[in-house]
Amino acid sequence: MALSMYEASVPRFVGMLHNLDAILQKAHAHALEKKFDPSVLLTARLFPDMFPLRRQVQIATDHAKGAVARLAGVELPKYDDNEQSFEEVRARIAKTIAFVESFTPGQIDGSEEREIAFRIGGHDLAFKGMAYLTGFALPNFYFHVVTAYNILRHNGVAIGKGDYIGSV
């Protein structure tokens, strides 16, 4: 059996968002245990020209919700990007998981050739569904999740590869 568009998207996004939530929970606990303001981690970045942790989470969730919505041909939910605490970024992840899980295979499967066009960062982009999912949405999603992981690991949070990958 071939891998369906649904199987290549919804479970992958949901699984990694759960893993991201778990590492953020560990990061928050780490800050409290070490007695420093948890917002320090939310504003941490790997390099001055990279986005901070908070924005990495926002972008990762944007790619997850955007991918399934575009593949299903429905309107994307708009988020305000105003999260300031671990509770708020984790709530954003939970909201995104609920949205992504609301899709059925019948809404996503068969979208391989769907025309997907949108504007991002001042650029107009156009893809067929499969190329969008495999060449844009998933790579960008994983990039921002792993960058969030790397920011936390770099800042001493006791997480490892197993936390990133989760249970298989």
CB of 20 within 8 A of CB of 93? Answer: yes
Q: What averages of pLDDT result for each successive group of 10 residues across the chain (168 residues)?
A: 91 98 98 96 96 98 98 96 97 98 97 95 95 98 98 97 87
CB of 91 within 8 A of CB of 108? Answer: no
155 assigned to some structural domain: yes
Number of domains in the chain: 1
List, for residues 65-89, the tens digit of each pLDDT value: 999 999 999 999 999 999 999 999 9
40 assigned to some structural domain: yes
| Cα-based angle 94, 58, 162 (whole degrees, multiple of 5) | 65
- How confident is the model at residue 1, as a pLDDT? 59
List, for residues 112-134, the tens digit of each pLDDT value: 999 999 998 899 999 999 999 99
Task: Say what the pTM is.
Answer: 0.95
CATH number for position 44: 1.20.120.450
168 assigned to some structural domain: no
Range of the domain at 76: 5-163
| Cα-based angle 163, 83, 125 (whole degrees, multiple of 5) | 80
18 assigned to some structural domain: yes
